[in-house]
Amino acid sequence: MFLVTGATGNVGGELARALAEAGQPVRALTRSGSGKPLPDGVAQATGDLNQPASLRAALTGVRGLFLYPGYQDLAGTLAEARRAGVRHVVLLSGSSAASGDLGNAVSRYMIESETAVRDSGLTWTILRAFGFMSNTLQWIPQLQAGDLVRAPFAGVPVAVIDPQDIAAVAAAALTSPRHEGRVYTLSGPEALRPADRARILGEVLGRDLRFEAQPDDEARAEMSASMPAAYVAAFFDFYVTGTLDESGVRPDVAEVAGRAPRTFRQWAQAHAGLF
């Protein structure tokens, strides 16, 4: 049995589906048992990752565990997993963890989560993913209002990755021991600026989308309304100061999943209906 946390999210949902379609027994962890429907063949369990003791029933019989970073007591969750007989954990992390910069709030929670996994007594695989193609879904309200896309950090190229490709690597890491103790850095096949994504999305949708760079001061104010100040500072450190470079294309998806990562155009075609 494999337990997938975040199974109603972009990566966890794709992973639960991939495991089920491969005939693997998979259980999805949700906090309350409600929410988006789960893929066919996926069982449901409830528990709160901020309360490790609540996970005991969900962890029963589990061999492999997929985790997101940043929970309050990840070490406690991993201790519960070890006591339940879990053997292997796959952690979704971010590429900024490689910096070792504990002064950046986003990097810090990635680094601390990776440390907890390494110290857990379980075998592990860490997936350091670049920016997600699915972040483009944040543009939906703008596209419902018109053909103008405004986005921050317009000059920053990122080799964005399809969550489906992250899930493919996670599935391989859960089901094969050859990935134990490995850290994979996962990118898409090409570096794109926000304007590039807007152009490709417009072509897929058959719309003449226009792109406009959002000024930094406006972006800071907008982000500050929805996230802690330390995280806003972290993203400005990444993309304005320039401490994070996710423009390089990495080979890890192809090497682990046995196929090339999907392009942004393929992602846009698969999700066009959401726009």
- Three-state secondary structure readout of 238-255: HHHHCCCCCCCCCCHHHH
pLDDT in tens, 172-194: 999 999 999 999 999 999 999 99
Find the mean pLDDT for residues 112-137.
97
Alpha-carbon gap, residue 141 to 114, rounded angstroms: 35
Query: DSSP class of residue 97?
Result: G
Note the CATH architecture for domain 2-130+163-187+248-261. Answer: 3-Layer(aba) Sandwich (3.40)
Q: Where do the domains of the chain lie?
A: 2-130+163-187+248-261
Sheet strands (E) in 6-161: 26-30, 42-46, 64-67, 88-94, 123-129, 148-151
Find the mean pLDDT for residues 6-10.
86
User: Greater confidence, 250 or 73?
Assistant: 250
Find the mean pLDDT for residues 263-274.
97
CA pseudo-torsion sign 203, 95, 92, 111 = negative
Q: Write the CA distances from 171 to 22, 87, 141, 179, integer angstroms.
A: 9, 15, 33, 11
CB 204 within 8 A of CB 155: no
Q: Is the pLDDT of residue 72 over 90?
A: no
Q: Is the pLDDT of residue 45 over 80?
A: yes
54, amino acid identity: S
Q: Is the pLDDT of residue 265 over 90?
A: yes
Q: Is the pLDDT of residue 246 over 80?
A: yes
What integer pLDDT is reported at residue 31 of this predicted model?
79
Tokens of 74: 């990840």
Q: Is the pLDDT of residue 1 over 90?
A: yes
Angle, vertex CA 50, rays to CA 8 and CA 102, nearest 5: 100
Tokens of 168: 């493919």
Instruction: Please name every residue paired with 64 in a beta bridge, in sequence order, or none if there are none.
Output: 2, 88
Q: Is the pLDDT of residue 34 over 60?
A: no
- Band (pLDDT 50/70/90 cuts) for residue 121 is very high
What integer pLDDT is reported at residue 37 of this predicted model?
77
What integer pLDDT is reported at residue 36 of this predicted model?
72
What integer pLDDT is reported at residue 35 of this predicted model?
64
What integer pLDDT is reported at residue 30 of this predicted model?
85
83's CB contacts (< 8 A; 6+ apart) are none
Residue with tokens 């565990």: 65
Find the mean pLDDT for residues 212-221.
97
Threshold 0.85, pTM exceeds: yes
Instruction: Please name every residue paired with 133 in a beta bridge, in sequence order, or none if there are none.
Output: none
What integer pLDDT is reported at residue 237 of this predicted model?
97
182-197: buried (b, 16+ CB within 10 Å) or exposed (e) per residue?
ebbbbbbbbbbbbbbb
Q: Write the CA distances from 76 to 79, 113, 163, integer angstroms.
A: 5, 12, 27
Neighbouring CB atoms inside 10 A of 50's CB total: 13
